Chain A
Amino acid sequence: MLNQFCGQCAEQMGRRDRYCENCGAWVANVLRDRVEVDVGVAAGVTDRGRRHHRNEDALALRDVGGGLNAAPGSTADGAVLAIVCDGVSSSARPDEASETAAEVAAEALVAALRAEGCPTAATREAIYAAGSAVAKLAGSGAGHSDCSGSDWTGSGWASRGAPACTFVSAIVSGNAVTVGWVGDSRAYWIPQTDTGSAPTRLTSDDSWLAQVLAAGTLSPAQAAADHRAHAITAWLGEDAGLLDPHVVTIETEGPGVVVICTDGLWNYLDTVDELAAALPAQALQAPLDAARRLVEIALHSGGHDNVTVAVLPVVSARQPGRAHPEGLP
Chain B
Amino acid sequence: MISTPEFRGAVHQNLYLVRGAREVHAVITVDTQQDLGAKEPAPGAAELLILDCSGSMSFPAEKIVKAKEAACAAIDELRDGVWFALIAGSVGARMVWPSEPQMVLADPWTRAEAKDALRRLDPAGGTTIGAWLRLAGQLLGQHPEAIRHAILLTDGRNEHESPEQLETALRDCAGTFSCDCRGVGTDWSVDELRTISSALSGTVDLVVEPAGLADDFRATMASSMGKAVGGVGLRLWAPVGATVRFVKQTAPTLVDLSARRVGSGPLTGDYPTGSWGTESRDYHLCVELEPGGVGEEKLACRVTFVHTAVDGTAQPLRQAFIHTSPDGSIEEFSNARVRALWTDDLAQSTVINGKVAEVTGRAELAKAVADGLSAHHGGDRDLAVDCLSRARKLAVQGHDDNLLSRLDQIYDPDTGTFRLNGMSAQQEMSLDLESTKTTLLGRG
Q: Considering only CB atoms, which chain B residue lies closest to A28 in the complex?
A: B297
A23-B239, A141-B329, A142-B327 given; A147·B341 CB < 8 A: yes
Give chain A nearest CB distance to B21 CB in angstroms: 15
Give chain B nearest CB distance to A49 CB in angstroms: 13
If over half of A's interface residues share one DSSP class (helix, strand or loop), that class is named, otherwise mixed; here it is loop
Contact A25 B326 (CB under 8 A): no
Q: Residues of B contacting A148 with CB < 8 Å?
A: 295, 297, 341
Asked whether B298 is an interface residue with its Cβ less than 8 Å from the other chain, the reply is yes
Give chain B nearest CB distance to A29 CB in angstroms: 6
Contact of B333 among A17, A152, A153, A156 (CB under 8 A): A17
How many angstroms from the CA of A46 to the CA of B238 in the assembled complex?
30
Q: Considering only CB atoms, which chain B residue lies closest to A148 in the complex?
A: B297
Q: Considering only CB atoms, which chain A residue lies closest to B289 in the complex?
A: A24
Asked whether B118 is an interface residue with its Cβ less than 8 Å from the other chain, the reply is no
Contact of A24 among B242, B330, B331, B343 (CB under 8 A): B242
How many angstroms from the CA of A157 to the CA of B328 in the assembled complex?
10
Contact A156 B289 (CB under 8 A): no
A24-B242, A154-B347 given; A147·B298 CB < 8 A: no
Give chain A nearest CB distance to B269 CB in angstroms: 15
Give chain B nearest CB distance to A278 CB in angstroms: 30
Contact A141 B331 (CB under 8 A): yes
Contact B295 A26 (CB under 8 A): no
Q: Residues of B contacting A158 with CB < 8 Å?
A: 327
How many angstroms from the CA of A9 to the CA of B292 in the assembled complex?
12
Contact of B298 among A26, A54, A142 (CB under 8 A): A26
Asked whether B352 is an interface residue with its Cβ less than 8 Å from the other chain, the reply is no
A22-B267, A26-B297, A29-B297 given; A146·B337 CB < 8 A: no
Q: Residues of A contacting B325 with CB < 8 Å?
A: 142, 146-147
Asked whether A150 is an interface residue with its Cβ less than 8 Å from the other chain, the reply is yes
A23-B240, A152-B348 given; A146·B299 CB < 8 A: no
Q: Residues of B contacting A142 with CB < 8 Å?
A: 325, 327, 329, 331
How many angstroms from the CA of A153 to the CA of B326 in the assembled complex?
9
Contact A147 B327 (CB under 8 A): yes
Give chain B nearest CB distance to A80 CB in angstroms: 35
Asked whether B294 is an interface residue with its Cβ less than 8 Å from the other chain, the reply is yes
Complex interface residues of chain B between 318 and 372 (CB less than 8 A to chain A): 325-327, 329-331, 333, 335, 337, 339, 341, 343-345, 347-348
How many angstroms from the CA of A150 to the CA of B18 in the assembled complex?
12
Give chain A nearest CB distance to B6 CB in angstroms: 20
Asked whether A300 is an interface residue with its Cβ less than 8 Å from the other chain, the reply is no
Contact A150 B240 (CB under 8 A): no
Asked whether A19 is an interface residue with its Cβ less than 8 Å from the other chain, the reply is yes
Contact of A29 among B242, B296, B300, B331 (CB under 8 A): B296
Given contacts A22-B239, A24-B242, 19 further A-B contacts (CB under 8 A): A9-B240, A16-B302, A17-B333, A17-B337, A19-B299, A19-B337, A20-B239, A22-B240, A23-B240, A23-B241, A24-B300, A26-B297, A26-B299, A54-B295, A142-B331, A143-B331, A147-B326, A148-B297, A150-B344
Show the binding face of B for A, using Cβ within 8 Å.
15, 238-242, 267, 289, 292, 294-300, 302, 325-327, 329-331, 333, 335, 337, 339, 341, 343-345, 347-348
What are 10 A-B pairs with beta-carbon distances under 8 A? A19-B298, A23-B240, A24-B299, A25-B297, A25-B298, A141-B331, A142-B329, A147-B15, A149-B295, A152-B326
